[in-house]
């Protein structure tokens, strides 16, 4: 396997990990907003 091919695989892996971390951050923010909204409903 050439160095270029290896580099491309690693680039794809790093991009996917960054996307995953970003989406996970968004999800936790949204979960907080949803729990705040449902708390307002209970009030």
Partner 1 sequence: MNPKIERAIYIGIILVLAVLVLSFGKKQIELQESLPLTVDQLYKKLQNPKINLQIIDVRPYEPTEEEEDEAEDYDFYTLAHIPGAIPMPDCDESKTPKEALDHINYYLPTVIISKHGDPKIFQKCAKKFKIVQNVKGGMEAWLDAGYPTEEDEYTPPAAGGGGGCL
- Round to whole Å and give the CA distance between 34 and 42: 12
User: Binding string, 3-42, against partner 1, x = CB under 8 A?
Assistant: --xx--x--xx--xx-xx--xx-xx--xx-xx--x--xx-
Number of chain positions touching partner 1 (CB under 8 A): 21
The span from the first CA to the last CA of the chain, in angstroms, equals 62
Q: Residues interacting with partner 1, by CB under 8 A?
A: 1, 5-6, 9, 12-13, 16-17, 19-20, 23-24, 26-27, 30-31, 33-34, 37, 40-41
């Amino acid at each position: 396997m050439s160095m270029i091919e290896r580099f491309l695989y690693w680039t794809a892996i790093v991009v996917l990990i960054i996307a995953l971390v970003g989406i996970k951050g968004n999800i936790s923010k949204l979960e907080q907003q949803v729990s705040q909204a449902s708390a307002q409903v209970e009030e």
